Amino acid sequence: MTPGCSSACQHENLNIALDHLHGVGPRMLPKLQKLGLNTIEDALYHLPVRYEDRRQFKKINRLTDNQQEVFLGTVLASGEAVTSRSRRRIYEVIVGDESGKISLKWFRYRKPWLQKRFPVGQQAIFIGEVKRFSAIREIHHPDSELIRSDQDINQLLTSDPLLFGRILPVYSLTEGLTQKQARKIWYQLIQEYARFAMTFIPPEVQQKYRLLPTTEALRLVHWPDDTLDLKDLNGGHDRARHSLVFDEFFYLELGLALKRAGVQLEEGIAFKFEHKFTIPLNKMLPFRLTEAQRRVLGEIKHDMMAPQPMHRLLQGDVGSGKTLVALMAALIAIENQAQVAVVAPTEILAEQHYQTFRSWLDKLGLKTGLLQGNMSVVAKRSLLEDIANGDIDLIVGTHAVLQEGVEFHTLGLGIVDEQHRFGVRQRSLLKHKGANPDILVMTATPIPRTLSMTLYGDLSVSIIDQLPPGRKPITTELFRSSHRHQAYQRIRQELEQGRQAYIVYPLVEESEKSDLQAATVAAETFTTEIFPDFKIGLLHGRMKTAEKDQVMNEFRLGKVQLLVSTTVIEVGVDVPNATVMMIEHADRFGLSQLHQLRGRVGRGAEKSYCLLIPSEHYSDDARRRLHVMVETEDGFRIAEADLDIRGPGDFLGTRQAGLPDLRVANLLKDQRILEQARQEAFAYVDKTNQLRTTDAEPVKRELIRRWGGRLELAAIG
Ligand code: ADP
Ligand code: MG
């Protein structure tokens, strides 16, 4: 440590290797590194996983089952025994106080050591999780602190703060690191280093939310005092953690606010409203737009009118009518003599969008094009020419639209379907196909608003939170593989009523062949054995586009009644007469994928069904996913459950979104704090002219330190 070090370099004291800490030597260091801790700072932000109450001892008859408890007792009996059921040797100590008794058991032990430690009459403090197996309660492998006969209990409570008389932290451990050692290390750590942690939140924000200075927050979160409540601590709602979470989110949002400001500084196209095509379309529609559709359309119009480029995320559950909103936006651009590009994640989806857009644009006398991967050279050349000279108003395609060689006359709007397959880089490519065109990204993955604003930091978010009227709920049922005939019955029932069905097989990268085979064989079986009286189609990723198109068209027209497919239908397919979907090996799909798939049914006026058939054996996580599917149709709840099961790191590719790692905060659990921090960060960026004022200097330095290179990388363009 540098004596007389200024506050700015003071923080650098935290960026040193952990073995500078007393008590951390060459033997301990690797154990801490296993926990991902390398520097003093890492360790300071490695928070306890929970807390243990050692302020007073409970009476034995007051101990709560399934809870970590601390109590004082006297050994009444001590010795080896054999369990009645498994005939295993165990060591058992019976401990009592004036209120009752409890049994302590060891399954792995050194007998002489236990015998010596727990003679009858020995007083000790015991710590462990209480279990109830029968009338008598048990603790397996408890911790203990012996009490010498001359020790006074009250004195003991105040004698050693590492052991008693307070709320103690419980840390996550690794092999060879005990809880006792961990407590000692972190106690030492905050004694020596917490004071170097600096508070980087602007004072006015700190006051407004009554945030603790970082030093104090770190001290308290590791070593809580009487001002903190045990329940709050264990729920993660205490002031100390709250302050650290706020700090983390504030800097996360600060970076996002800066990126957004950068986007807004660019010049884009200010569209005007001509209503030349939008009003006629409105008149042609067989239904009225939902209120939610009208609201988001208003938001999109507002952006399109503004001179800055639009960067908007349109989020709506499957079937909520995003495509229609996108169509309206497209017409606004076309009214302004600009072209529109629609980018879809797969060929099938591109085709589907092409059909939808073309059916409306044809009626308005506008030209739609489809750019396909396997077009003939001649057809492709002619299409590219039409795009380049502006003859085509709206072009649909996969990523192929973004390739070199595709030149637009005047690209005014890019519509991107299904964000989670589409990275920041692709959006940037699209942007450079024109002079800062507006960009509208559509996603069906519903995620909490603040979360999506954070994940897609540089995008504004519009949410369609309402389905068109008249949708019937989808009944989801889980069948054991051996009970699949029940699912077949349901399918037959629907087919006989003139409806259509999907049967879906998962596609796993490594074994694409065998899955393909599974789908092919299944299609055979269905044709010859199970549904010989219906027309069955097969769709998989290895088919040629023309073949796929043919099958899809036949299905759309109702000529094929049962479509057996690998996951190519995952997104966007829209056949309202399909009322039942059976998903094979449903355990292999992720939650949002299942939700997407299920959204292919329930699109018409009829009641629909989703039948889940998991593999014979599947994991607990898969079980949880399947149950969520059965329980709810609410995309919002599904997204939350998904986040909960998978954890936020994996969700939607946080890394792809270019965000810094979160050490303390939890994007899902701490959403309220995230909202507040977001508001304050955006206001602060405004107020300080994008951190250009003198007081904002330390904030800016800290921002750069935390975001590193990501600040530029994440920015679009
Ligand atoms: P998404 O793209 O959000 O999954 P779509 O735009 O494909 O949803 O719409 C799903 C279905 O609902 C389509 O058949 C569409 O024509 C229909 N639809 C869209 N908006 C409405 C509305 N306001 N009222 C009734 N039906 C609608
Ligand atoms: Mg859609």
Atom of ligand 1 lying closest to residue 464 CA: 3
- What are the backbone dihedrals phi and psi of residue 602, each rounded to the nearest 5 degrees, phi first? 75, 25
CA–centroid distance, residue 393 to ligand 2 (Å): 21
Distance 455 CA to ligand 2 centre (A): 21
pLDDT of 157 reads 67
169 Cβ contact partners less than 8 Å away, ≥ 6 residues apart: 48, 51, 52, 183, 186, 222, 223, 224
User: In 3-state terms, the chain is what percent helix, strand and coil (to 5)?
Assistant: 45, 20, 40
Stretches where the chain sits below pLDDT 70 are 1-11, 156-162, 263-265, 419-425, 446-451, 455-458, 507-517, 567-573, 646-660, 709-717
CA distances from 205 to 201, 210, 277, 333 (A): 7, 8, 49, 42
Q: Atom of ligand 1 at shortest distance to CA of 290? A: 23
Residue matched to tokens 């999506």: 452
Structural contact between residues 310 and 304, judged by C-beta atoms closer than 8 angstroms? yes
Q: How far is CA 340 from the centre of its chain?
A: 31
Quote the ligand 1 centre to 699 CA distance (angstroms).
46
- 559 is written with which tokens? 């000529």
- Atom index in ligand 1 nearest the CA of residue 576 equals 14
Q: Cα of 704 to ligand 2 centre, how many Å?
A: 39
Q: Which tokens is 605 given? A: 């006026």
Side chain identity, residue 46: H
Which amino acid appears at position 16 of this protein? I
- Amino acid identity, position 516: L
Contacts of 600 (CB under 8 A, 6+ apart): 318, 502, 569, 573, 574, 575, 578, 581
Ramachandran class of 390: left when φ > 0, alpha when ψ lies in -120 to 50, beta otherwise: left
**318 Cα–ligand 2 center, Å:** 6
Residue nearest to atom 19 of ligand 1 (CA): 321
pLDDT tens string 87-139:
889 999 999 999 999 999 999 899 999 999 999 999 998 988 899 877 779 99
What local confidence, expressed as pLDDT, does residue 151 receive?
73
Domains annotated for the chain, with CATH where assigned, are 56-165 (2.40.50.140), 278-464 (3.40.50.300), 474-651 (3.40.50.300)
Ligand 2 center to 321 CA (angstroms): 7
Ligand 1 site-directed mutation target among 282, 294, 323, most atoms within 8 Å of CB: 323
- Ligand 1 pocket test: which of 574, 595, 603, 606 has the largest number of ligand atoms within 8 Å of its C-beta? 574
Question: What pLDDT is stored for residue 423 in this prediction?
Answer: 60
Please tell me the pTM assigned to this model. 0.64
Q: Which atom number of ligand 1 is nearest to the Cα of residue 323?
A: 6
CA–CA separation, 689 and 694 (whole Å):
11
Residue 280, both tokens: 């006629």
| Ligand 1 mutation pick, 288, 289, 314, 324, max ligand atoms within 8 A of CB | 324
Tokens of 539: 């769709």
Name the token pair of 13. Answer: 């004291």
The pLDDT score that the predictor gives to residue 1 is 40
Cα(530)–Cα(535) distance, integer angstroms: 12
> Which pLDDT does position 652 carry in this prediction?
45
- Name the residue at shortest CA distance from atom 18 of ligand 1: 321
Alpha-carbon distance of 89 to 85, in angstroms, equals: 11
Q: Given this model, what pLDDT does residue 449 score?
A: 66
Q: What pLDDT is stored for residue 717 in this prediction?
A: 30
**Nearest ligand by distance to the CA of 293:** 1
For residues 417 and 326, what is the distance between their CA atoms, to the nearest angstrom?
A: 10
Query: What residues line ligand 1, using a CB cutoff of 6 Å?
Result: 287, 289-290, 293, 316, 318-324, 444, 468, 574, 603
The per-residue pLDDT for 3 is 46
Tell me the ligand closest to 316's alpha carbon: 1
Separation of 362 CA from ligand 2 center, angstroms?
20
Is residue 690 within 8 A of residue 261, CB to CB? The reply is yes
39-63 exposure pattern, b = at least 16 Cβ within 10 A, e = fewer:
ebbbbbbbbbebbbbbeebbebeeb
* Residues 472 and 608: beta-carbon distance below 8 Å: yes
Burial class, 311, CB count within 10 angstroms (exposed 0-12 / middle 13-18 / buried 19+): buried
> Which candidate, 509, 535, 504, places its Cα nearest to that of 522?
504
536: which strand partners?
562
| Ligand 1 atom closest to residue 572's alpha carbon, by position in its atom list | 4
Query: Which residues, other chains included, contact 540 with Cβ-Cβ below 8 Å and sequence gap of 6+?
Result: 507, 516, 519, 520, 565, 566, 568
Distance 603 CA to ligand 1 centre (A): 8
